[in-house]
Chain A
């Protein structure tokens, strides 16, 4: 499994995908945080990183499916899936190796934004006047959200040999899971069930974490959705044996 994980990471590095993803994410976030007039921190005047954490998920919504779309689809198409699955590896190990390779890249692209934290820390008046606990929670939330998106991407990659199909379905699913439930709950026909519906979506739990409160229920939600997606992927892969 480690070998497969390393091979996946290597293939990111070889194929420029890693560099492009990291470069696009950081350029995009950098522009939003510091340059674009509507969202930049300097004009906003408050020492917080809200821009990163509120817009980051939308950037990930496109970038993560772009990373994961080929992971199983390409193996399926080129026949190398047969090669992998006739080695001493279980289906789950293959999926997890791919998942962690994608997740690794996501975490790796988030890490440089710690510089933003330092910059804003310095810009605060007085220096260091910012909500570190909230930012910490937001970072954990963003990383967990990256994990959920990666697992959705892996799942849709197993659905089709066609990478474009898998990309589009992944973007759609990520959108629905992230903010779809929240929007649906706002329709106003649900009565007192609205809260439960909102709780199905990521946004509810993500917002809770960005307040700096790491509630085990929120963590369980993120891990649960990820596990569910990986389980669905496993089912899909095992369906070849039915």
Chain B
């Protein structure tokens, strides 16, 4: 069950939200869909779930076009919209039964499936409460349960972990991992650890264009620099560091803490230690940061769009 996006373009008025993007996801894959706010992530997802129509290009889910076969596509897709809209005045199980009902599920099949989802998403104790009375983490689980109730083949989650506390984030992640084995999952986020923890592949978009589409492990290695973090008791004169071979740039944000951009693969730590001894710098910390996904993300999305 695959998702194929071909040359997708969406314009709102004169503004291009998505500009000719193409990618595909196969069954069993978890795709992280990354990008800064306003990059076009949600728009792409709304088109893939048949809420909006593409201006140009096409999206196919299991070889069904989202415009021509909208109803068929919707049966196969589970969707958790951004901000997780819910009917706050409904009870949890009532809500899940309602959504299941919209998917034409009935009787014992519906009951069984709803109980199963309540168990899976860990909302057993909350099932007889009104959704409005639940905390954000539980609401998010209800949202996820809702997107899963009809056992969709494709799962599209728009920022499923925003606004959750760290424990809840881990729980939701595990849940996604758990259900993803038999499904195709696309989820958007701007939390990089999430991508590292969950995804096989990541697509990064910026200003409506794809700037990266590769395996998460490949992405991490794609930086052409490493970072070294130095911590001193007080600020120092950085001129000797600047002179070191292989140093590209030096940043300082907090007094006494420096970030050195160095050529990829060059480990300058011992040289820096030697310098610190020579100039008697009060060095209290040194750490080499491998090209992390955060750095790749920054690098790719802060570039101005090509004219």
Contact = CB atoms under 8 A, between A and B. Distances in A.
B220 interface: no
A79 B83 contact: yes
A88 B75 contact: yes
Interface string B34-56: 00000000000010011111000
A101 B104 CA distance: 19
Interface stretch (B23-31, B84-92, B197-205, B284-292): B84-92
Interface centre among A3, A78, A85, A87 (most CB of B within 10 A): A87
A107 to B, nearest CB: 24
B77 interface: yes
Interface string A73-112: 0000011101111111110000000000000000000000
Interface stretch (B95-103, B181-189, B229-237): B95-103
A87 B46 contact: no
A82 B102 contact: no
A86 B89 contact: no
A80 B74 contact: no
Contacts of B88: 78
Contacts of A7: 90, 98
Contacts of A90: 70-71
Contact of B71 (A4, A82, A88): A88
A87 B51 contact: no
B160 interface: no
| Size category of the binding interface on chain B | 20 to 34
Interface in B49-80: 49-53, 70-71, 74-75, 77, 79
Contact of A86 (B50, B53, B86, B104): B50
Contacts, number: 57
| Size category of the binding interface on chain A | 20 to 34
B101 A82 contact: no
A4 B53 CA distance: 24
A196 interface: no
Nearest to A89: B102
Interface string B217-247: 0000000000000000000000000000000
Given A11-B89, A78-B88, 18 more contacts: A14-B89, A78-B85, A79-B85, A80-B87, A82-B51, A83-B79, A83-B99, A83-B146, A85-B51, A86-B51, A86-B74, A87-B102, A88-B102, A88-B103, A88-B104, A89-B102, A240-B52, A241-B53
24 contacts: A3-B98, A3-B101, A4-B102, A7-B90, A11-B89, A14-B89, A78-B85, A80-B86, A82-B51, A82-B85, A83-B99, A83-B146, A85-B51, A86-B49, A86-B51, A86-B77, A86-B79, A86-B81, A87-B99, A88-B75, A88-B103, A88-B104, A90-B70, A240-B52
Interface of B: 46, 49-53, 70-71, 74-75, 77, 79, 81, 83, 85-90, 98-99, 101-104, 146
